[in-house]
Amino acid sequence: MFRFKTIAFFLSFLLFLVACTSNNATPPRPKSVPNDAMWIGGVDGGAWILLKKNQSDPEYIYRAEVYGDQAGNQWYIGRLEVIPNSQPSVPLGRAGAYGVWDGDRLLLEDGRVMRAIDSFDPFKEEG
């Protein structure tokens, strides 16, 4: 009987640990963030990213909108260049393909980088 209680306690404790550590890292989407933007990040922060392919751009250029995690402020609006551009294809809409936005670059999980090529001042007043 003691052995059963020990095993039951141990399994309950493990279940408790798993429940405490497995949470959804995606924060609530701010109203200013488009519905088709992907969350790139974790529990410590990240960014909302919307990537699109404009057919008139070279194959290694993508259009991006990057929004802050909590308030949804625009961090970048402009074009990104895939580096190296000898492998220009990027899986749109698959959040797991992207690592982190560092303010100038979107790091891809396969080691490539998407570098911002347009200047964008997120603090500039509109109007």
pLDDT in tens, 26-77: 889 999 999 999 999 888 889 999 999 999 999 999 999 999 988 899 999 9
Q: How many domains are there within the chain? A: 1
Instruction: Give domain status of residue 61, yes or no.
Output: yes
Is-contact 51 64, C-beta < 8 A? yes
Which bin fits 45, alpha (ψ -120 to 50), beta or left (φ > 0)?
left
40 domain residue, yes or no:
yes
* Domain boundaries, position 34: 26-116
Residue 63 placed within a domain:
yes
Residue 123 falls inside a structural domain: no
Residue 21 lies in a domain: no
Q: Model pTM?
A: 0.74
In a domain, 52, yes or no: yes
| pLDDT confidence of residue 122 | 74
Inside any domain, residue 121? no
The answer as to whether 91 is a domain residue is yes
